Structure 1
Amino acid sequence: MKLDAIDLRILQAVQRDGRITKLKLAEVAGLSPTPCWLRLRKLEQAGIIAGWHARLAPRRVAPFTTVLVEVALANHRQADFERFERAVMEMESVVACWSVGGGVDYFLKVVAQDIDAYQRLIDGMLAAEIGIDRYFTYIVTKTLKEDEPLPMALFGVK
């Protein structure tokens, strides 16, 4: 789907405020409500808008620890990567996982009740023999910025 300036304004608005009213969105997009709504539906149907959700303030619910983990696999066959990735997809505490090039194979973002819970997760990963050769743990001590909207300048919008 080729996006135009109106589509990009719609995307910018809804990623900043998913609860924006239809009227306000139409105003921002420079359209009347019905054509704006139709464009929004097309963006959803095309998979450009992947979903709608609430952004929580988790520290107001319960204390937790965020850990970033570098993981290097022992072997680098396709089956090794697939085994590791399947296992990680089943781990609720692993909230993000990136396959990367360079000296390690993956970066994980883990949230756990505390350091002990994180260590139990790692111990379980090692016991499951999912191919981990080595891992490095980085405890997040302060979050400055997280899950921000995509910069629309990437798409030519200022």
Structure 2
Amino acid sequence: MKLDAIDLRILDAVQRDGRITKLALAEKAGLSPTPCWMRLRKLEKAGVITGYHARIAPRRIAPVASVMMEVTLANHRQADFERFERTIAAIPEVVACWSVGGGVDYILKIMTADIDCYQRLVDGLLDRELGIDRYFTYIVTKTVKEETVVPVACFAGSGDEESDS
């Protein structure tokens, strides 16, 4: 889907404020409300907009341990990757998982109540015999930057190829 400057303004506005009114969105996009709303619906139907979410401050709820984990699998058959990914997708504490190239197979972001909970989660993964060859744990001691906003303006003119990154 080819996006123009108006589409990018709409995307930027709704990702910053998912509860923006139709009128305010139209003003930010530089359109009247009806055409703006039609473009928004088109972006949703095309799968460019996949949902609307509230941003939560977990530490305001309870203490949280954030952990980054590198995982390397022992075998690299498609079935091994699929089994690992299916298992990881079902674990709520794993809030993000990326398959990566390079020296490791996956990088996971895990959030638990404390480090003991994290270790129990890892022990459970190892008990499941998912083919984990090795893993490395990195405790997040301070969040320097964590954005949920995608810099859509940087993508202007690059809408020729499709990507799900």
TM over 0.5: yes
* Corresponding position of 2:18: 18
Match of 2:35 in 1: 35
Task: Show the counterpart of 1:64.
Answer: 64
CA shift for structure 1 position 155: 1.7
CA distance in 2, matches of 1:23, 1:141: 42
Amino acid paired to 1:5: A
Deviation at 1:58, TM superposition (A): 1.1
Report the RMSD for the aligned CA atoms in angstroms. Answer: 1.1
* Cα displacement string for residues 88-111 of structure 1 (whole angstroms, at most 9, x for unaligned residues): 011111000000011100000000
Rounded Cα–Cα distance in structure 2 between residues aligned with 1:153 and 1:102: 29
The alpha carbon displacement at 1:70 in A equals 0.4
Corresponding residue SS for 2:43: helix
Query: SS at the partner of 2:101?
Result: coil
Q: TM-score, normalised by structure 1?
A: 0.96
1:130 paired to 2:130: yes
1:23-47: CA deviation from partner (whole Å, max 9, x where unpaired): 1110111110011011111111111
Asked whether the equivalents of residues 80 and 131 of structure 2 are also in contact (C-alpha less than 8 Å), the reply is yes
Cα separation, 2, equivalents of 1:148 and 1:126: 31
- Shift in Å, 1:144: 1.6
| Cα drift, residue 10 of structure 1 | 0.3
Alignment of 1:71-110 (within 5 A): 71-110=71-110
Shift of 1:3: 1.0
Question: What aligned pairs does 1:34-53 form with structure 2 within 5 A after superposition?
Answer: 34-53=34-53
The residue identity in structure 2 corresponding to 1:147 is E
Distance 2:149 2:107 in 1: 21
The match for 2:160 is none
| More RCO (CA 8 Å, sep 6+) | 2
SS at match of 1:72: strand
State percent identity of aligned pairs: 73
Stretches of structure 2 that go unaligned for 5 or more consecutive residues are 158-165
Q: Which runs of 4+ in 1 moved over 6 A?
A: none
Segments of 5+ residues of structure 1 without an aligned counterpart are none
Query: What's 1:147 paired with?
Result: 147
Q: Which amino acid aligns with 2:53?
A: H
**Equivalents in 1 of 2:7, 2:153: separation in Å?**
14
